[in-house]
Amino acid sequence: MRNQENKIFANIDWTLFVIYIVLVLLGISNIYSSVYNPEKSNIFNLDTEHGKQIMWFGVSLFFGIVILFLESNFIRKYAYWFYGFTMFLLVAVLFTPPINGARSWFGFGSVGIQPSEFAKIGVALALSRFFDQAHSFSDRASSFNKKVGLSNLWGMVPFILKNKETALILGIPCVLVLLQPDAGTFIIFTSFILVLYREGYAGNMLLFMVIAIIIAVITLLVADSSFELPLTDIKLSGKAGIIITLVVLVGIFALLIKNFILKRNRKSLYKSLFGSLLVAVIFVNFIEVGYSNILQSHQKVRIDLLLGKIDDPDGDGYNINRAKAAIGSGGFIGKGYKQATLANAHQKHVPMQSTDFIFCTWSEERGFIGSFLLVSLYTFLLLKIVVIAERQRSHFTRVYAYCVGSIFFYHFLINVGMAIGLAPVIGIPLPFFSYGGSSMMSFSVLIFILIKLDSERKIVLQ
């Protein structure tokens, strides 16, 4: 038994484990400061958020140790089962009473469990299992690329249709999360696109995503405006202006192709160009309709605030305004531990200072230096996960590692972006820092599964 334990712990990546422990302890310390109450100063007091967070950390460590004693083949074998179980939870939660307008939580007394947090683990395992069964997915994608031409937009469509399993693995939880509705978690599920890109899914997918974001932002900025055509009295909407601009740009590119590209190569470029125009026009209309008819009023307000279409620092923009004020008040070196005057529970200048805006408390107390060090620590965590992914001989572990890295990257980017006003407020926790039992357990399980799989990287798995 002792030899088995030594074998399990001998190959653990202790650097990753130490980063995990450091982030958790810093997070608990930060929560303690953000909600500090002299009458409940005991850090282990279970009536406080910091006491509950310590309890969830203990539960997470227990599950982590259990995972370390599992066989990697067991994790692979039951990956689909865990995915199915988490999808069942996402369906079941839709029948619970709504909390703050959303059906996202199972309530057990004073404890709440958010199944979408664990669904991320299920999707990561299912994707890893699927690509592992496909053997060398990169080779398969490369071979298919030659058949359908993934260098253009139309090549992506048959490729996605041919891989319906991947679309289902990602599509089912996305739809279920939107039904809750939980737009923030839906965005997190889009992080798996980075994994598909790494595995050779489509070379131009990220480029199309960037272009789509640019078009979406421009559409939202000018959708409510209008303009007159030069030398006429005709008034057009902002959307019409975007479409006209796209048509003009396509016309310019078509002329360039005609004059500077060999004739035998023009046909495919024309198809890609005009196909992209068609998709862009459809996308512009989709964005406008979705913004006007699908988004709830508070979601529209958050987007308008982010884009600068409205300025209401003491009203709808209060959260972001106070968050930026707290971060800025920290200065270069900060005010000191438990010395925050804005991001604390007593002043309540910054709402949700222990959850969504936990970064504000840290920045106000530790200033620019502390913020830089924390960002550096998260960056080191992400780089470490990438290094772990690239040293794997198992497709399952490599894909899983990139899934974990993508999830953490999105959470970190969006949460910090919310605090500094570069992302809409959509309720995304900062890993290991934001208060919450579901997030603490799910992030911990993600890390411990990765540690376990990586510990067996030298074993050739069939």
| Interval 161-204: pLDDT, tens | 455 677 788 888 888 888 887 878 888 888 888 888 777 765 55
* pLDDT at residue 110 in the model: 65
**pLDDT beyond 60 at 136:** no
What residue has token string 């929560």? 31
* pLDDT at residue 284 in the model: 74
Output DSSP code: residue 350. Answer: S
Q: Is 231 left (phi over 0), alpha (psi -120 to 50) or beta?
A: left
pLDDT cut 70: percent of the chain above it: 76
Distance CA 339, CA 102 (A): 35
* pLDDT at residue 137 in the model: 44
Closest CA to 241 of 284, 286, 290, 300: 284
- The more confidently predicted of residues 136 and 411 is 411
Structure token digits, residue 278: 């068609």
* pLDDT at residue 146 in the model: 40
Distance CA 448, CA 70 (A): 11
Closest CA to 118 of 399, 440, 452: 440
* pLDDT at residue 436 in the model: 86
Among 145-159, 308-322, 367-381, 437-451, the range scoring the smallest mean pLDDT is 145-159
* pLDDT at residue 245 in the model: 77
Average pLDDT over residues 311-316: 62
DSSP H helices, 41-111, are 49-68, 72-77, 79-92
Q: Does residue 428 contact residue 356 with C-beta atoms inside 8 Å?
A: yes
Structure token digits, residue 310: 């409205």
* pLDDT at residue 252 in the model: 84
Average pLDDT over residues 281-307: 71
Q: Does residue 194 contact residue 407 with C-beta atoms inside 8 Å?
A: no
Among 85-99, 259-273, 294-308, the range scoring the smallest mean pLDDT is 294-308
Distance CA 357, CA 230 (A): 47
* pLDDT at residue 147 in the model: 41
Output DSSP code: residue 180. Answer: T
Residues contacting residue 335 through CB under 8 Å, at least 6 positions apart: 329, 341, 364, 365, 367
* pLDDT at residue 327 in the model: 85
Strands (E), 393-461: none
Average pLDDT over residues 72-93: 90
Q: Does residue 137 contact residue 163 with C-beta atoms inside 8 Å?
A: no
* pLDDT at residue 315 in the model: 61
* pLDDT at residue 461 in the model: 47
Amino acid letter, residue 136:
S
Output DSSP code: residue 71. Answer: -
- The more confidently predicted of residues 288 and 388 is 388
Confidence class of residue 8 from pLDDT cuts 50, 70 and 90?
Answer: low
**Which residues lie across from 99 on neighbouring strands?**
102
Distance CA 106, CA 249 (A): 51
Q: Is 460 left (phi over 0), alpha (psi -120 to 50) or beta?
A: beta
Distance CA 83, CA 129 (A): 10
Structure token digits, residue 150: 């993934």
Average pLDDT over residues 304-315: 66
Q: Does residue 127 contact residue 199 with C-beta atoms inside 8 Å?
A: no
Among 110-119, 306-315, 447-456, the range scoring the smallest mean pLDDT is 306-315
* pLDDT at residue 449 in the model: 94
* pLDDT at residue 232 in the model: 61
Distance CA 351, CA 356 (A): 8
- The more confidently predicted of residues 117 and 215 is 117
* pLDDT at residue 281 in the model: 75
Indicate the helix (H) or strand (E) that contains 441. Answer: helix 437-455
Distance CA 168, CA 127 (A): 10
Average pLDDT over residues 281-286: 74
Among 72-76, 193-197, 220-224, the range scoring the smallest mean pLDDT is 220-224
Structure token digits, residue 286: 């989709």
Mean model confidence pLDDT for the chain = 79
Closest CA to 177 of 260, 258, 90, 304: 90
- The more confidently predicted of residues 162 and 207 is 207
Distance CA 348, CA 341 (A): 9
Among 54-58, 101-105, 179-183, the range scoring the smallest mean pLDDT is 101-105
Closest CA to 50 of 34, 28, 20: 28
**Which residues lie across from 111 on neighbouring strands?**
108
- Give tens-digit pLDDT for 327-359: 888 888 888 888 877 777 676 677 777 788 888
**pLDDT beyond 90 at 264:** no
**pLDDT beyond 80 at 152:** no
Q: Give the distance, in angstroms, between the CA of residue 337 and the centroid of all CA atoms in the same chain.
A: 30
Residues contacting residue 296 through CB under 8 Å, at least 6 positions apart: 101, 181
Q: Does residue 426 contact residue 418 with C-beta atoms inside 8 Å?
A: yes
* pLDDT at residue 148 in the model: 39
Q: Does residue 337 contact residue 344 with C-beta atoms inside 8 Å?
A: no
* pLDDT at residue 138 in the model: 47
> 235 by DSSP, 3-state: which?
strand
Residues contacting residue 216 through CB under 8 Å, at least 6 positions apart: 283, 287
Confidence class of residue 59 from pLDDT cuts 50, 70 and 90?
Answer: very high
Structural Rg of the chain based on CA atoms:
24
Q: Does residue 180 contact residue 102 with C-beta atoms inside 8 Å?
A: yes
**pLDDT beyond 70 at 368:** yes
